[in-house]
Structures are given as structure tokens and as C-alpha cells.
Chain A
Amino acid sequence: SQQGEEDPQALSIQEGENATMNCSYKTSINNLQWYRQNSGRGLVHLILIRSNEREKHSGRLRVTLDTSKKSSSLLITASRAADTASYFCAPSSSYKLIFGSGTRLLVRP
């Protein structure tokens, strides 16, 4: 299955701290995407990293991809209360996105 498994399931940090969440998968992929979901709805695309890339940045987000270990990490630096959400990874070799249960991030003000 292409489903990604996020770890940890839940993460609670203080505003200003960094948050790191991980994703593992089992099959070969062409790319891996990270999405954020607030309040049970509103899935928003954060970043896409291709299989030939090792690291990508977007604002306060840093994503790494290690295809040899079949894993990815998402780092959010200088977290804000507004970053409170569930984060999902979607490893993919086709148009289908198959999400795991996600990491629930709580940023305490």
C-alpha cells in the first residue's frame, strides 16, 4: 500500500518551538506531499517533494525525503498557534492520495 504512516500521532509544543513529524511508507514513489487539515475539514496542500529531491523549503516548512529509508520528515520552525492542525503525508506514484491518520499538532500559546 502507498499509505503513509505519520509519527507521532499527537504532538504538543509551545508557541515558538519547532515541530517535527515523520512519515514512513512501504512502496516506491514518484513524489510525496504534505497536507494540513484544520478543524476536521479544509485540507490544504503544503509542499510536494519529488523522489529525486532530498530536501525542500517553503517559508517556515522544511521537508526531507530519504527514499532509501522510505521516510520523510516535516519540520515547522518557530511554530504559531495557527499551526494547530492535523498533518498528513501522501506518498504517491499516481494521482491517488492515500493518507494515514495524521499527526495532530497542538501549539500552545
Chain B
Amino acid sequence: GAGVSQSPSNKVTEKGKDVELRCDPISGHTALYWYRQRLGQGLEFLIYFQGNSAPDKSGLPSDRFSAERTGESVSTLTIQRTQQEDSAVYLCASSTVPLQGAVEQYFGPGTRLTVT
């Protein structure tokens, strides 16, 4: 079946502009995650959605970042008034319900965001 898809694959934007990144999870996966990866570094957790529960937004770096998810489908990550330090690859992942954290996460190809 189809994996996690993300769009756009690349986005170049000017400092101060807003951007919206999209993630389509694997059908049937109730959990959805957003991560950020700066060049040469590991992943930073941003936000987690699970079903109809309140999302875990503890990783969002500032109030310029927000994310939404419609039911158990598409999610969008919005970055307002982008800054150069927002430049990174934004990765989305989905999974079945994580039990005690023990679940494989399936990652999308990411969106490479460049803020000029």
C-alpha cells in the first residue's frame, strides 16, 4: 500500500512569509508525528496526534509553529513569519497506536524548507 506522503518536497521561501507543509499518513494509522531535522543532525520531535486526543505540542519551538489534523487523515504544519533558523527538513511519520512507545514509525520523504 501507499506509504506516508508529504508535500511539497522542497520549499524555498523568503524570511517573514508563512508556509504550510502537508502530510498524508498511511491509511488506518491513528498516530501521526512531525519532526524536524537540521542539516547533519538527528530528529527533533515537534508534535504528536493520536485519534481524537489532545495533541502533544510540547516540541513546537515557538508560537510561530502550529499543526492541525483532520480526524485520522491529513495533517498540516504551519510556520508563520519564517526565520532562517527554520530551514530544515520537516519529516512526518505515522503509526498504529503506540503502546508504551513500542511501535514502528513510518516516515515520509520529508519537506526540505529553505528560508532565504
Chain A residue at minimal CB-CB distance from B31: A95
Contact of A45 among B41, B45, B106 (CB under 8 A): B106
By beta carbon, the residue of chain B nearest A31 is B102
Q: How many residues of B contact A (CB 8 A)?
A: 28
Contact of B110 (CB < 8 Å), options: A31, A41, A100: A41
B interface residue numbers (CB < 8 A to A): 31, 33, 35, 40-45, 48, 50, 56, 59, 89, 91, 93, 95, 98, 100-107, 109-110
Question: A interface vs B, CB < 8 Å?
Answer: 3, 30-31, 33, 40-45, 48, 50, 88, 92-102
| Given A93-B100, A96-B59, 20 other A-B residues pairs in contact with their CB atoms under 8 A | A30-B101, A31-B102, A40-B89, A42-B109, A43-B43, A45-B104, A48-B102, A92-B101, A92-B102, A96-B45, A96-B56, A97-B33, A97-B43, A97-B93, A97-B105, A98-B42, A98-B44, A100-B42, A101-B41, A102-B42
* Bound CA span A32–B66, Å: 29
Specify the main secondary structure of chain A where it touches its partner.
Answer: loop
| From B43, B93, B106, B109, residue with most partner A Cβ within 10 Å | B43
Report chain A residues within 8 Å CB of B98.
94-95
